[in-house]
Amino acid sequence: MGNGVREGPVEFQRDVEPVTARIPAEDNQEKKKVLNSLMSGALAGAVAKTAVAPLDRTKIMFQVSSKRFSAKEAYRLIYHTYLNEGFWSLWRGNSATMVRVIPYAAIQFCAHEEYKQILGNYYGFQGKALTPFPRFIAGSLAGTTAAMVTYPLDMVRARMAVTPKEMYSSIVHVFIRISREEGLKTLYRGFTPTILGVIPYAGLSFFTYETLKKVHAEHSGRAQPSPPERLLFGACAGLIGQSASYPLDVVRRRMQTAGVLGHTYSSILLTMQDIVREEGLIRGLYKGLSMNWVKGPIAVGISFTTFDLTQILLRRLQHGPGLER
């Protein structure tokens, strides 16, 4: 009986020690995973947006004006901007874009990884690819989360893109002038159409990219697509996602820049009505879409590819060359 009493605690400690030792290691792995996603997403957003910044600025300038869009007019606008303001003026507003895009992309990609894991656990798909509906939901939730956190920076970027250098000298100056002259609420003008547009855009973009990777793996027998294949899958994702949400993108740009362009847009429906009445359905709500079909797929393709390859590189550095995404 004495022996039994002495052996009990020893046996108990032997069972508990491995469990307590495992918990910090699991927490550490989760922290590394989140940090990798944040870093990869930030780099992906920065590289992609910088690559297409001149096209992005040109698109915004057409979206917020009543001028008819055409490839010839877009080229003329880019050329005149270059002649009158210099080469680097084509990237005007890109600093504001970076201030927004880096946290936006970091949050979006990281949130997507987390939502995939949460939905995978909920639906019982741990370690496996999600089915189509959860795949779409994960993308939509990721985009919505990022947009909610970083929206005022998007407003600032739009203002800097359509105004002369003399009006706003810096990002901080935009915040100060808007707050003083138009009120803090202005920083969230156009927020509703942004969220309504992000749901199909982010949902379809992530859904398309993840689906194409899954189909590729099933048909090619290779677990990982090559970088050019990733670019192609990302381009398809961007094309589908941006086409679906484009009218709401035009509406939010009009609402964001109304204060400096002499318009008053009080709601999404009234803004749409004004655009359609003055410019027509296709020429108004889809103005600049053809440029987006060039810019969007390039940006999204670069973004997804950069994220995936950076993730793979970071994991190799941490765990050795045998581990891939």
Q: In the chain, how many H helices and how many E strands?
A: 10, 0
Residue in 171, 144, 151 with CA at minimum distance from that of residue 160: 171
In this structure, the answer to whether residues 123 and 142 fall within a common structural domain is yes
- Does 80 fall in a domain? yes
What is the Cα–Cα distance from 86 to 165, expressed in whole angstroms?
Answer: 12
Can you read off the two tokens belonging to residue 250?
């035009």
Q: Is 223 among the domain residues?
A: yes
Angle (CA) 46 52 53, round 5°: 80
Same domain, yes or no: 177 and 196: no
Co-location of 155 and 74 in the same domain: yes
DSSP designation for 225:
-
Whether 4 maps to a domain, the answer reads: no
Q: Among residues 187, 209, 237, which one ends one of the domains?
A: 187
Q: Where in the sequence is the domain holding 213, given as residue range(s)? A: 189-302
- Which of the 8 DSSP states describes residue 264? -
3-state secondary structure of 127: coil
Number of C-beta neighbours around residue 43 at 10 A: 19
Assess if residue 317 is contained within a domain: no
For residue 96 the two structure tokens come to 């504001």
Tokens of 297: 């797929």
Query: 239 and 162 in one domain?
Result: no
Residue type, 64: V
Total domains, the chain: 2
| Secondary structure of residue 26 in the 3-state scheme | helix
Out of 130, 153, 187, a domain closes at 187
What tokens were used for 53? 């910044």
- Asked, for residue 108, whether it belongs to a domain, the answer is yes
What confidence score (pLDDT) does residue 236 get? 96
Residues 101 and 141 in one domain: yes
> 90 and 130 share a domain?
yes
Residue 127 sits in a domain of what CATH number? 1.50.40.10
Listed residues 187, 207, 229: the one ending a domain: 187
pLDDT in tens for each of the 325 residues of the chain?
445 544 445 444 444 445 444 456 667 888 888 999 999 999 999 999 998 888 887 877 777 777 777 777 777 888 887 888 788 778 877 877 788 899 999 999 999 999 999 998 888 776 677 889 999 999 999 999 999 999 888 888 778 777 777 788 788 888 888 888 888 888 888 888 889 999 999 999 999 999 999 999 999 988 889 999 999 999 999 999 988 898 988 888 888 777 666 667 768 888 888 889 888 888 888 887 887 788 889 999 999 999 999 999 998 887 765 545 4
Which pLDDT value is given to residue 318? 79
Q: Residue 256 carries which side chain, given as an amino acid letter? A: Q
